[in-house]
């Protein structure tokens, strides 16, 4: 009888420790994954911000500079897909710079692995103002 109780107790303790180990591993995995996703989005943001600076240089060189015809529909979908823009690879990421023909807006898309950030800015007196994430 004592052997049966000891075996049952050992199984219960082993199962509890295994469950705690699996839960701990899952928490660690989720934390690492979330940290990487946040880092990639931050890197994508700075790529997009750098793209705004590149667009400002393009406007200084040529105030009539544009990359695409006026957009129709959802801005994010357009930028992520059909929009024609200057695409530049920087390190392990990319930035796409888009200005509509005769438009007052400039858009940039920064991408780094799974991170993607969309920025817009309004052209006012030859420079880009009111920059914001969309």
Q: Where along the chain do its domains lie?
A: 2-133
Q: Whole-model pTM? A: 0.81
Residue 112 CA to residue 101 CA, distance in Å, equals 27
Chain centroid, CA 59 distance in Å: 26
- pLDDT given for residue 52 in this prediction: 96
62-93 pLDDT, tens digit each:
999 999 988 878 889 999 888 999 999 998 99
Contact between 111 and 95 under an 8 Å Cβ cutoff? The reply is yes
- pLDDT given for residue 20 in this prediction: 95
Q: Flag whether pLDDT at 16 surpasses 90.
A: yes
Q: Flag whether pLDDT at 30 surpasses 90.
A: yes
| Of the candidate ranges 7-16, 20-29, 70-79, 93-102, the one whose mean pLDDT is the lowest | 70-79
Token pair of 52, please?
A: 């705004």
In the 3-class helix/strand/coil scheme, how is 24-88 assigned residue by residue?
A: HHHHHHHHHHHHHHHHHHHHHHHHHHHHHHHHHHHHHHCCCCCCECCCCCCHHHHHHCCCCCEEE
89-106 pLDDT, tens digit each:
998 999 999 999 988 999
Contact between 59 and 127 under an 8 Å Cβ cutoff? The reply is yes
- pLDDT given for residue 67 in this prediction: 93
Cα dihedral across residues 71, 72, 76, 81: positive or negative: negative
- pLDDT given for residue 71 in this prediction: 81
Q: What average pLDDT score do residues 16-42 get?
A: 95
Q: What average pLDDT score do residues 16-23 get?
A: 95
């Amino acid at each position: 009888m004592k052997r049966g109780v000891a075996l049952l107790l050992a199984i219960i303790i082993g199962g509890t420790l295994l469950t705690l180990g699996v839960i701990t591993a899952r928490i660690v995995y989720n934390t690492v994954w979330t940290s990487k996703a946040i880092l990639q989005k931050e890197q994508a943001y700075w790529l997009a911000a750098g793209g705004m600076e590149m667009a400002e240089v393009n406007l200084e060189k040529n105030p009539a500079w544009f990359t695409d015809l006026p957009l129709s529909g959802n801005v994010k979908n357009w930028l992520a897909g059909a929009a024609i823009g200057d695409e530049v690879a920087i390190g392990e990421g990319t930035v796409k710079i888009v200005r509509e023909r005769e438009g007052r807006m400039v858009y940039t898309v920064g991408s780094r692995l799974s991170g993607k950030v969309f920025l817009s800015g309004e052209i006012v007196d030859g420079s880009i103002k009111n920059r914001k994430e969309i």
